[in-house]
Amino acid sequence: MISTLLVLLTSTLRSSTPLILCALGGVFSERAGVVNIALEGMMLTGAWAASFFTLATGNVYIGILGAILASVIMAGLHALASVIWTADQTVSGVAINLLASGFTEFMAVKVWGTSQSPSANTAPAIFGISLFVYVAFAMVFIVHFFLYHTAWGLRLRSVGENPWAAETMGINVISMKIQGVLLSGVMAGIAGAAFSVGLLSRFTVNMTSGRGYIALAAMIFGRWNPIGSMLACLLFGLSEGLATLFQIWQLPVPSQFLLMTPYVITMLALAGFVGRATAPAADGVPYVKSR
């Protein structure tokens, strides 16, 4: 029983870590009033860049920095389209995801000649647990502190609730929205690195497999709150952990059904909860500076 619980706990932590980091990115963006379904593409780009720079330099920390930079570039494109040009934020997010999928697949084949990278150096582990796990849980409380206990966090949240009122208070709404989106890129980049050099040791085409969308669902389920998002991510991570455990037990259930478990739970959670969740009032509303 103890061995089973340890397997389940380890699997849950491994599965939850990228989700938590990515969901925190979503909190930054959507608290600033910008819908961000581009988290999937940002995380995938970060995963590729982490492997690329780690293999190129032999240094996993440079790989992580490369992942952050690549993801922030994608976030910048989303900010440009949705904040500066006031394009539809959902359409912009879909475009970023398609761009990331095509770009990373092209670059993987171009650089490594195949759909996956060679094995890369992994980030250090403490007590057998990847450093990314500790970073993810620490970031939950750091993000919570900055959002709810600093003047910067108050300005960011005010922009997501009523940007025109925030404008009258002298807040640079455009700047705050861009900061929120770019910070989502930072977090999604770390999440991508957690996949490719932290947990799996290599990049594989489309390796995120929709987890950016699961992170977005967890953020909604967690009411756009860092701690709530973490708890929701742990729930989804637990479902993946159970699927892994069922495979180890060799239950007479097709493996495809077990792999579907996290996505089914995501749909059920959203179907039963999203209607009662209250997003920031100006989330998704294009902002045009008043005259």
Boundaries of every domain in the chain: 17-226
Indicate the helix (H) or strand (E) that contains 230: helix 226-248
- Residue 90: name the closest of 172, 98, 268, 208 by CA: 98
| Residue at 62: amino acid letter | I
- Taking the C-alpha atoms of residue 48 and residue 66, their distance in angstroms, rounded to an integer, is 9
Six-digit token string for 47: 């995963």
Determine contact, residues 187/239, Cβ cutoff 8 Å. no
pLDDT string in tens for the chain (291-residue length): 677 778 788 888 988 999 999 999 999 999 999 999 999 999 999 999 999 999 999 999 999 999 999 999 999 999 999 999 999 999 999 999 999 999 999 999 999 999 999 987 677 888 778 899 999 999 999 999 999 999 999 999 999 999 999 999 999 999 999 999 999 999 999 999 999 998 888 999 999 988 999 999 899 988 999 999 999 999 888 888 777 777 777 777 776 776 777 777 777 776 766 556 678 999 999 998 865
Q: How far is CA 214 from CA 26, 71, 170, 226, 251, in A?
A: 11, 18, 36, 15, 26
Report helix, strand or coil for 185: helix
- Taking the C-alpha atoms of residue 131 and residue 50, their distance in angstroms, rounded to an integer, is 15
pLDDT of residue 37: 95
Q: What number of H helices and E strands is found in the chain? A: 11, 2
- Residue 78: name the closest of 154, 156, 172, 183 by CA: 183
Q: Is the four-CA dihedral 96, 97, 99, 100 of positive or negative sign?
A: positive
| Residue at 91: amino acid letter | V
Q: Per DSSP, what are the bridge partners of residue 43? A: none
Determine contact, residues 72/189, Cβ cutoff 8 Å. yes
- Residue 187: name the closest of 10, 14, 30, 13 by CA: 30
Task: Write down the pTM of the prediction.
Answer: 0.92
pLDDT of residue 215: 94
pLDDT of residue 291: 58
